[in-house]
Structure 1
Amino acid sequence: MTDHRMLLVHAHPDDECINNGATMARYVDEGVGVTLVTCTAGEMGEVLVPELAHLAYEEKGGLGEHRRGELDEAMEVLGVTDHRFLGGFGRFHDSGMEWHEDGHAIPSETLPDNAFWTADLNAAADELVKVVREVRPQVLVTYDQFGGYGHPDHIQAHRVAMYAAQLAAAPSYKLELGEPHDVAKIYWTAMSESRMRESLRQLRASGDTETFKGMEPDGKLPPFVTPDELISARVDGRATVQRKMDALAKHATQVEPDGSFFSGAESGHSWWAEEFYRLVKGTPGPTGADGFEEDLFAGL
């Protein structure tokens, strides 16, 4: 084991694999302490397995408990042994979402009881402050201010993570939550614009018009795509991407086995092997030939 520790804050089970699965597996292999905090159980997610359709929120329910098991199995594949739900399982409920006509997510008109989107920010942040002060990570990873694509739970996870990081460092703030700790580097997940455009060119040239449908190589890209000049780090996950994909497959109610995650001109794997990040707090470390940090702990 090294003395390096990483904390990731995500909204629902499966978000961690999609955004950071290769990174998590890499750092586990390097002996880094990896802690995942998931803010909700994803109770409002769409059920893609017909025989489990009864678990949907609008049916009999129970999807959250099922997804808890999927998350356990996914983390076993990645080798992550410290994964927790914010405030404990069931403390905050998946808020659900709707699609705006512009193609991004927005809050639903009707929210479930105890929706994470409407949770008291101080109360939610305090739950994470306890984790930060216990784990004492040098690196924290979460979403950008738009939650990638506008999902209210992603936005709230961003707010909670950023606020908790500030509060955890304050030397006079609620010492009953633990000894103050200042996270040295904070990153937001990102998707490279140049990488997306090149992938779209390959997909469309191969005749694939379904993967990332509605997006074209030279057209307008959705908000979850980040201009390269804003990106600070690129983690090469080629050695761990198979574990990422295997872990993602454990989230079976949420990911179609023949869907865009596992298909396409690049077979999914080379695309998902690179994971990009924006440094929003801390001093950048040395960069590689492409101008990106290659290690999120660089410079510490």
Structure 2
Amino acid sequence: MQTGRVESRDMTLAGNGVAIPVGFNPQVISAQKSYGQIYDLVNVIKTDHGNPIKMVFDDDVTNGLVPVTVGTSQGEVDPVITGVTLQVDNFSTGVVKIDNGFLSDAGFDLAAWLQDKFLKRFYRGASNLILAGDAGSVASLTGAYNTALTFTSATVNTLKYIDFATAIGTLDPAYQSNAAFAMSNATLGVVLGMSDSNGRPLFLPDYGDASGGFVGRILGYPVKLVTQLPGVATGNVPVLFGDFKEAYTFRQQNPGIGILRLNEIFAAGYETGFVGFARVGGVVTDAGTHPLVSITIK
């Protein structure tokens, strides 16, 4: 543990006789690891129940005006209507057991610390599920778009300027107003060294307030860090580009993560358990015109 800053010189005696400054609050130094921004990128809906929800897809983009012949009835031109059912699966954070003595003597807000741990487990787990899916009600975003609207990089085992230009040219303009590039930090490291034929950098960092959730821009489009995406290597899909909110819907039942305190089950061992439960699901929402483009490395 690393002690916090002490503002008072007054002392009190702890149970072991060691003098401790009044107002002393030990700090918990936690290991940090990003779970990326994919949860914020996709469309998230929150429901008070876990009942199935029907999501309807409408594809009418090929229909327009047809010539009229006077005296002739018009033919039927229907939009293509399909859909998926958005359900939820049950997930757990796993149980945390804490010595009852430590509960009394921790010296810091243990309840808030545990809540923070479980919230991070929820967002980390949700982010992993969105990208990889599971065997049940959570579909994989990358699994769908690796085979939907994808193209292969121009050069073996690397990314080039032309690949990002091709991605923009491949995505329909209807999706480009809310489009962003998604990649891992390792892939961003590769992009940082890239420039066009005139030596101008491809990536322009955000030198101002980064609270908007992006680290910079590529050819005018925001760059989001998605740590679960693979690095640049032959056969990998390290970059996605498009409108993620149109491409994927993640569902969570309120309150997102529910935390239970298990007082009795571990009482014989002088411990108290804590566990979090969540009910979530996810579907790819591609109505037919592919809101995302993926780049596969040659």
Question: If the TM-score is normalised by the length of the shorter chain, which range does it land in?
Answer: under 0.3
**Which structure has the highest strand share of the two?**
2
**Which structure has the highest helix share of the two?**
1
Structure-1-length-normalised TM-score: 0.21
